[in-house]
């Protein structure tokens, strides 16, 4: 995996890499992906198989319900007047 790709992947994944890490992860991923070329020769299948066993048609009725008090959920969060604090948008 070339340097440019490592940087692009890291940017997409929101991981900041040091110079040393770019090199190291780049080498590791190259070695791993080379091994994964094995997949190219593997047989194909027409089945979608989102899960290993078929999970189908599990639905919930449209009934509002709240099990846990929102105060309890917000207890460990950095909040301000009930809002959850986050970083600036611009």
Partner 1 sequence: MKIGLEIHVQLPTKSKMFCSCPTTEAPGPNTHVCPTCLGMPGSRPVLNRKVLEYGIMLAKLLGCRVNDTVWFSRKTYFYPDMSKSVQITQYDNPIGEGGVYYLNGKKPIRITRIHVEEDPGKTKRVGDLSSLVDYNRSGIPLAEIVTEPDISTPAEAREFLGQLIQDIRCVIDIPGDGERSIRCDCNISVGKERVEVKNVTGLKNVERALTYEVVRQTKVLKAGGKIDRETRRFDEERGVTISVRKKEFEADYGYIDEPDLGIYHIKEMAESIRIRESPQKMTARIAGQYGIDQKMAKQLVNTSVELAELFETVAGRHGTQNAVKWVAGPVSSNWKALETSGADVNGVMGIIDRFAAGEITDTECGIEIKCLMTGEDIESAKGAAGDLDKIVSDYLDQNPGIIDDYRKNEKAANKAIGFVMKNSGGSYSSAEVVEAVKRLIESRM
Partner 2 sequence: MSMKSTLENLESVNSKYFMFHAKTSDTDPGDAKFLFSAKDNLTSKDMETCAGSRILEGYFPAFDATAIAKMREAGGKLIGKTNMDEFGFGTFSTNSGFEVPRNPYDLERACGGSSGGSACAAAVFEDHVSLGVSTGGSICCPASFCGVYGIAPTYGRVSRYGLIDYGNSLDKIGVLSARAGDLRKYINVIAGRDERDPTSCVQPELRNEGRRMRSVAVPREGVEGLSKDVESAFNAALDELRRMGIEVEMVDMPSLKYAMPAYYVLATSEASTNLARYVGMRYGHQDGDYSLKFDDFFSDVRSRYFGDEAKRRILLGTFTRMAGYSDRYYSKARQVRQVVIQDYKRVLKDHDAVLAPTMPFTAPRFDDISKMSALDNYKADYLTVPANIAGTPHMSVPCGYGSDGMPIGMQFVADHWDEDVLFTMAEEWDKEFEIRKPEVSA
Residue 20-59 contact track with partner 1, rule CB under 8 A, x = bound = ----------------------------x-xx--xxxxxx
Q: Give dist(CA 90, CA 87) in Å, integer.
A: 9
Residue found by looking up tokens 């997409």 in the block: 12
Decide: 27 and 3 in contact? Cβ < 8 Å: no
- How long is the chain? 90
Site residues (vs partner 2, CB under 8 A)? 1, 5-6, 9-10, 12-17, 21, 25, 28-29, 31-33, 35-36, 38-40, 42-45, 47-56, 58, 60, 68, 72-73, 75-78, 84-90
């Amino acid at each position: 995996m070339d340097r440019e790709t490592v940087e692009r992947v890291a940017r997409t994944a929101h991981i900041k890499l040091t110079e040393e890490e770019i090199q190291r992860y780049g080498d590791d991923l190259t070695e791993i992906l080379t091994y994964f070329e094995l997949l190219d020769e593997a047989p194909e299948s027409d089945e979608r198989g989102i899960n290993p066993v078929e999970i189908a048609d599990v639905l919930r009725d449209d009934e509002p319900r709240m099990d846990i008090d929102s105060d309890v959920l917000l207890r460990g969060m950095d909040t301000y007047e009930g809002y959850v604090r986050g970083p600036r948008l611009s």
